[in-house]
Amino acid sequence: MVIELMTENSGAKISKYIYGQFSEHLGTGIYGGIYVGKKSSIKNVNGMRSDVVNALKEIHLPVLRWPGGLFADTYHWQQGVGPQDKRQLIVNTNWGDVVEDNAFGTHEYFELLRQLGAEAYINANVGSGTVQEMADWVEYMTRSGKSPMADLRQKNGQREPWKLKFFGIGNESWGGGGHMRPEYYADVYRQYECFLPQNNKKHPIYRSACGPNVDDYNWTDKVVKYAGEYMDGISLHYYTLPTNDWHHKGSATNFPEGQWHSVIQKAGRMDELLTRHSTIMDKYDPEKRINLNVDEWGTWYDETPGTHEGFLQQQNTIRDAMVAAINFNIFHKHADRVKLTCIAQTVNVLQAMLLTKDDQMIKTPTYYVFDLYKNHMGANVVQGIGKTPKDLTYTASQKDNQLTISIANTSINDSNEMTFKPQMNYSKIVSSYEIVGNKMDAHNTFEEPDNIVEKEFKDVLINKDGIIKAKLAPMSVVTIVIEKKKN
Ligand code: AHR
C-alpha cells in the first residue's frame, strides 16, 4: 500500500499554537514544578526552575494557558499582585483543599512567559468573579499611560503593559464553572465580552468562549448561534481515559492489554468530535472564521498511589506518547478550524511533559513527541491519498523546502511498514528520529531517566523514484524530515 502525498497542493497551515500547553494551580503543577521562589536552593531565575524552563524552550512551547481550569473560577487576581509577603492566602477548593500563598500571580506568570518566549493565554473568572473584576484585570495587564489599573501595575514594578494574546471567558461553564445552560452561558459570554477592554488596537485580544464537554453538540450549537459573532474561538475539552468510569479510570502503569487498546481507540475519537462540532459550526460560520480549539486534552488515569489526593499526579509511558501522536495527527487534519490546543498539563499533572522531585527533573515520552513534532509548527498540511495500514497513524506537512512525516505504530507486538510517494521529488533525508517502548508501560523514572529517549531512526530509505519506505518498531513514534532535490 502506497500513500500518495499531495505535495503539489498546499493544505491548511498548522498553527504553532496547536502545540500549546496548560498550567493550572493544581498540585505541584506550578508550585514546586515550575515556581520555586527566588530563595530556593533549586537553580532558578526569578523563582522559575531553570531545568524546567530550558526543557520547555527546547520544544518551542508557543503558548501557556493559566491559571486554570477549575481553579480559574475561584481566582481573584488582585490577591496575587503586590508584595509577595502581603498577598492573601487562599484555599484551593478544587485541587487537594490546600492553602496557597498566591506567590505565583500575574507578574510571575508574565515573567515565566518572558523566559519561555511564549504567548499568554489567560482564563477569566466567570464562575465566581464579576465583569468589573475581569475588566480591571485586563486593564491592569494591557493598558499603557495613566489609568487606575495601569498605575497599580506600575506601582507593583511593571512599567510597560504586557501582551495578552489569548483570553478565555469561562472554563467548563457547563460544569464546575457555573452549571450553566448553553443559552444562559451565551448571554453571560456576550456580557463579559462587551466589557473586555481592547487597549492594543494593533493586536486585539483573541476572545475564546467556553466550548462543549466532549460530545455535547447542543452546547456548541447554542453558544455559536447566540454568541458566535463576538468570539474568535470556542474551546472543546476531551480527556482520554482507559475506562468509562471516572472513579476507576485505570492505572498509568502496569495495566492490562485491553487498556492499551481502549486508550488508543478513545484517543482516536478526537477526530469524530472535531468533525461533528465543526459541522455544527459550519451552519453559522461557513467561512470558518471561528476556531475550534481544544484547550484541555490528554490522558487522565487514577492518581499515583501514595500521592496527595487531588493533585492528579500520574506516570507517563509510551502509551501516552501514542496518545500525543494520535492527537497531533488529528489536529493537523483539522488545521483549517483548529488553531490552538493545550495539553493538560505541563509539569507533574495529568499527561505532563516533565516530572520533578525536589531538584530532579525528568522528561516523559510525551515530551519527546512534542520534540519530534516541532518541525510541523507553521508548516502546511500535506494530504495523503491511500489506505493507512492497520495500527499506524501518520501526518505530513511541508515548509521551506522540507517535507516532515511523523508516524506512530500503535501495535504492541508487530513492526509495521509505511510507503509514501510524494508528488514532488523529496530525496535527501535531513533528520530521522524515533522513540520506542520495549513494553506497554515503558517510562522514565528519577532512577532511570533515559529508558525512553529520542534516538536516530535508521529504518528509512528513499529509492531513485522518490518512494519513501519506513519500517517502524512496535510501540514507536518517528519523524522523518526530507528535503527536495536541488536542480
Ligand atoms: O485539567 C484538570 C481539570 O480538568 C481542569 O481544571 C478542568 O477544566 C477540567 O475538568
Residue 4 lies in a domain: no
Decide if 314 is inside a domain: yes
| Residue 8 within a domain | no
Same domain, 366 and 389: no
Query: Which residue type occupies 379?
Result: A
The pLDDT of residue 486 is above 90: no
- Do both 184 and 64 map to the same domain? yes
Exactly one of 119, 172, 193, 303 is catalytic; name it: 172
Among candidate residues 139, 296, 303, 454, the one labeled active-site is: 296
Residues 427, 361 within the same domain:
no
58 shares its domain with 172: yes
122 found inside a domain: yes
Ligand 1 atom showing the smallest separation from residue 172 Cα: 8
Last residue of a domain, one of 379, 407, 424: 379
Residue 85 lies in a domain: yes
309 given a catalytic annotation: no
**Residues 301 and 399 both lie in one domain:** no
Burial 103-125 (b: 16+ CB within 10 A, else e): bbbbbbbbbbbebbebbbbbbbb
The pTM of this model reads 0.97
For residue 314, report the distance from its CA to the centre of ligand 1, in Å: 15
The Å distance, Cα 413 to ligand 1 centre, comes to 34
The tens digit of pLDDT for each residue in 436-465 reads: 999 999 999 999 999 999 999 999 999 999
Pick from 468, 487, 478, 461: which is nearest to 423 by CA?
468
Q: Which of 177, 207, 172, 203 is nearest to 190 (CA)?
A: 207
**Which grid coordinates belong to 54?**
530550558
Average pLDDT over residues 45-53: 98
Cβ of residue 70 lying under 6 Å from some atom of ligand 1: yes
Cβ–Cβ under 8 Å, residues 37 and 111: no
Could you tell me if residue 2 is inside a domain? no
Q: Inform me whether the pLDDT recorded for 487 exceeds 70.
A: no
What is the chain's mean pLDDT, rounded? 97
**For residues 406 and 477, what is the distance between their CA atoms, to the nearest angstrom?**
7
Q: Can you spell out the DSSP letters for 91-142?
A: EETTTTTEEE---S-HHHHHHHHHHHT-EEEEEE--SSS-HHHHHHHHHHHH
Distance CA 238, CA 232 (A): 20
Using the CB atoms, write b or e for 355-375: b if 16+ within 10 Å.
bbeeeebbbbbbbbbbbbbbb
- What is the helix (H) or strand (E) element at residue 369, kind and residue range? helix 365-373
Compute the distance between CA of residue 470 and CA of residue 136 in angstroms, rounded to an integer. 55
Nearest CA to ligand 1 atom 7: 69
Please, which pLDDT band fits residue 1 given cuts at 50, 70 and 90? confident
- Same-domain pairing of 249 and 332: yes
User: Do 284 and 319 have their domain in common?
Assistant: yes
Looking at the domain assignment, is residue 7 inside a domain?
no
**Ligand 1 atom with least separation from CA of 177:** 8
Minimum-distance ligand 1 atom for the alpha carbon of 296: 1
**220 has a pLDDT exceeding 90:** yes
168 within ligand 1 shell (Cβ under 6 A): no
Residue nearest to atom 5 of ligand 1 (CA): 69
Establish whether residue 24 lines the binding site of ligand 1, counting it when its CB lies within 6 angstroms of any ligand atom.
yes
Question: Is 343 near ligand 1, meaning CB less than 6 Å away?
Answer: no
* Confidence grade of residue 400 (pLDDT, cut at 50, 70, 90): very high
- Per-residue pLDDT tens digits for 158-212: 999 999 999 999 999 999 999 999 999 999 999 999 999 999 888 999 999 999 9
CA atoms within 13 A on the CB side of 19: 27
Range of the domain at 423: 384-484
426 and 371 housed in the same domain: no
Domain stops at, among 379, 411, 442:
379
pLDDT at 245 over 90: yes
Could you report the per-residue pLDDT of 257-292, keeping only the tens digit for each? 999 999 999 999 999 999 999 999 999 999 999 999
Query: Tell me, what CATH number does 206's domain have?
Result: 3.20.20.80
Same domain, 357 and 430: no
Task: Give the mean pLDDT of 54-79.
Answer: 98
137 within a domain of the structure (yes/no):
yes
Beta bridge partners of 21: 64, 343
Say how many domains are in the chain.
2
Is there a single domain that holds both residue 189 and residue 203?
A: yes
Residue at which a domain ends, from 364, 379, 394: 379
Using CA positions, which residue lies closest to atom 1 of ligand 1?
Answer: 344
Mark whether 238 and 297 lie in a shared domain.
yes
Residue 424 has pLDDT above 90, yes or no: no
Q: Is 296 tagged catalytic?
A: yes
Please tell me whether residues 125 and 205 are part of one structural domain: yes
- CATH label of the domain that carries residue 445: 2.60.40.1180
